[in-house]
Amino acid sequence: MQNFNFYNPTEIFFGENQIAEITKAIPKNAKVIVIYGGGSIKNNGIYEQVSLALSDFSWGEFSGIEPNPTYQTCMQAVSKIKQEGYDFILAVGGGSVIDGSKFIAAAANFVGEPWDILSKGAEVTSALPIGVVLTLPATGSESNSFSVVSNSETQDKLPFASVEVQPKFAVLDPQVMKTLPQRQLTNGVVDAFVHTMEQYLTYSVDAKVQDRFAEGLLMTLMEEGPKLISEDVDYKVRANVMWSATMALNGLIGAGVPQDWTTHMIGHEITAVYGLDHAQTLAVILPRVMAEQQALKRDKLLQYAERVLGLDITDEDSAISSAIARTEQFFQSVNMKTRLSDYGIGEDAVDKITHQLERHGMTALGEQQAVTLDKSSKIIRASL
């Protein structure tokens, strides 16, 4: 196992009716700005629960953070915060609202041009404190220090990370999932699954705990994912998926192990150019990364085949092929498409996406920096 520093200070309130807990979790004298998206929280009772919990606070709101939050919208929120003097952000939404809020929190305290945080990796040395009410389990953003923000004018979708924007607390009430459209439930299961794979399917450093936690998450998502989008869904299914998604990207399974974010980095470019949902891009790319990089990932692919999928691995090559096929079938079993052509995207994507990767310096991706632009091109071509 490699050396690591593990620090996750986000307090989790998990379970039914936990939104009320924000009353205790937010400092009493805070001036709170509630940040949310397109308004789904107004139709499903979450806004009312939040308002009730904030009745003794001084608070205002900013709405309109879009899926794949944009720098432009976030900067409007920064102006409002500066004008009205808020000092605590309550993000109520999915990954986009949370990521947008993280950028807003950093930008509000940033000296200089906040776009540099994304484009130049400018260091974030302070940020407004953030609390979260999660409405869509998928990204893990509620309990990590990452954020991904897009620039609608330049087709950039760029990540940044800072412990300064790690949420102080996050409320995870599985009941909020009742109003999620099937597309978003599917997205959530696939995103959490791919997060787990990208921290697991690399090479072994004999990190047994991380491996077995990751395998547990993969098996849970494979078992509960299809139920989540069927008639069979109940509180237990929602709760298990919600907790899996948080655990998949809160730092635990990634501590001290090599990681491979190739699928995500290519996926972000596809969203920036073609507007696909984040998880839609991942389901298209991951099976092709597994195939293209199978020589480097051989031992872990066999471990995955045997321990997660229960395959007989005596014939190693056929076990690896089956493992890749079964992964793609799993995505299809939760109604996710797995080809770029399913979205009407053709041949021209190969050059466009490769060019985007080059522009963003993504020329040596993967756990061994072995995914060159050439390899990325092959992966994209194989995804058509």
Where do contacts with ligand NZQ occur on this chain (CB under 6 A)?
Answer: 37-40, 44, 67-68, 93-97, 99, 135-136, 138-141, 144, 146-148, 176, 179-180, 184, 187, 191, 249, 264, 278
Contact region with Zn ion (CB under 5 A), list: 189-197, 217-225, 299-307, 347-355:
189-197
Rounded to a whole number of angstroms, the minimum distance from the CB of residue 249 to ligand NZQ is: 5
Q: Which is nearer to ligand NZQ, 247 or 313 (CB)?
A: 247
Quick check: helix, strand or coil at residue 250?
Answer: coil
Q: Which is nearer to Zn ion, 191 or 260 (CB)?
A: 191
Rounded to a whole number of angstroms, the minimum distance from the CB of residue 170 to ligand NZQ is: 12
**Binding residues with Zn ion: total (CB under 5 A):** 1
Q: Which is nearer to ligand NZQ, 305 or 371 (CB)?
A: 371
Q: Is 142 in the site for Zn ion (CB under 5 A)?
A: no
Angle at 304 between CA 300 and CA 306, to 5 degrees: 115
Distance separating alpha carbons of residues 127 and 220, to the nearest angstrom: 35
Rounded to a whole number of angstroms, the minimum distance from the CB of residue 191 to Zn ion is: 4
Residue 260 partner contact from ligand NZQ, Zn ion, none using kind-dependent CB cut-offs of 5 to 8 Å: none
Q: Which is nearer to ligand NZQ, 254 or 258 (CB)?
A: 254
The residue number with the shortest CB distance to ligand NZQ is: 37
Q: Which is nearer to Zn ion, 62 or 328 (CB)?
A: 328
Rounded to a whole number of angstroms, the minimum distance from the CB of residue 316 to Zn ion is: 30
Residue 240 partner contact from Zn ion, ligand NZQ, none using kind-dependent CB cut-offs of 5 to 8 Å: none
Residues in the chain: 384
Q: Is 99 in the site for Zn ion (CB under 5 A)?
A: no
Residue 40 partner contact from Zn ion, ligand NZQ, none using kind-dependent CB cut-offs of 5 to 8 Å: ligand NZQ
Q: Which is nearer to Zn ion, 90 or 289 (CB)?
A: 289
Closest CA to 94 of 295, 280, 297, 278: 278
* Residue 159, number of CB atoms within 10 A of its CB: 15
Q: Is 191 in the site for Zn ion (CB under 5 A)?
A: yes
Distance separating alpha carbons of residues 347 and 350, to the nearest angstrom: 6
Rounded to a whole number of angstroms, the minimum distance from the CB of residue 147 to Zn ion is: 12
Angle at 260 between CA 359 and CA 200, to 5 degrees: 165
**For the range 22-29, what are the long-range contacts, defined as Cβ-Cβ under 8 Å and sequence gap of 24 or more?**
22/50, 22/53, 22/54, 22/90, 22/131, 22/133, 22/169, 22/171, 23/53, 23/54, 23/56, 25/131, 25/168, 25/169, 26/54, 26/57, 26/88, 26/90, 26/131, 27/88, 27/129, 28/57
Q: Which two tokens stand for residue 69?
A: 């939050």
Closest CA to 188 of 16, 49, 334: 334
Distance separating alpha carbons of residues 312 and 231, to the nearest angstrom: 32
Question: Which residues contact Zn ion by CB under 5 A?
Answer: 191
